[in-house]
Amino acid sequence: MGYLFLAAAIVSEIAATLSLRASEGFSKAGFSVIVVVGYVTSFTLLSLALQRDVPLGVAYGVWAAIGIATVAVLSVPLFGETLTAIQAGGIALVIAGVVAIEAGAAH
């Protein structure tokens, strides 16, 4: 159950971060509301995941890495941003690092 809370926290954080960009400096009220609600929801769900025996290092690493990777990739079609080969390699390294943390965690 803890990993379901973690997955929901990640989705909420991604929505909030993409909305942060879309809010254009909080000048668009709808996106601004999504930012606030999304981050509050994300941290609440992350806390619930931690209460259900998801190790902190694993939870935070997975939450951050998937969020970073997904936001970077989705920013290309949504906002016309670029993703260079070096950036893609960096994302791959972040994901590999999280996999290593998860693999080394005692369950």
Kindly indicate the confidence band of residue 107, based on its pLDDT and cuts at 50, 70 and 90: low
Closest among 8, 4, 6, 10 to 67, alpha carbons compared: 10
Q: What is the pLDDT of residue 79?
A: 97
Residue 54: count other Cβ atoms within 10 Å of its Cβ.
21
Q: Which two tokens stand for residue 12?
A: 């909420």
* Higher per-residue confidence, 97 vs 5: 5
pTM: 0.89
The pLDDT tens digits for 14-48 are 999 999 999 999 999 999 999 999 999 999 999 99
The pLDDT tens digits for 41-90 are 999 999 999 999 898 988 998 899 999 999 999 999 999 999 999 999 99
Residues composing the chain: 107
Instruction: For tokens 């990739």, name the residue.
Output: 73
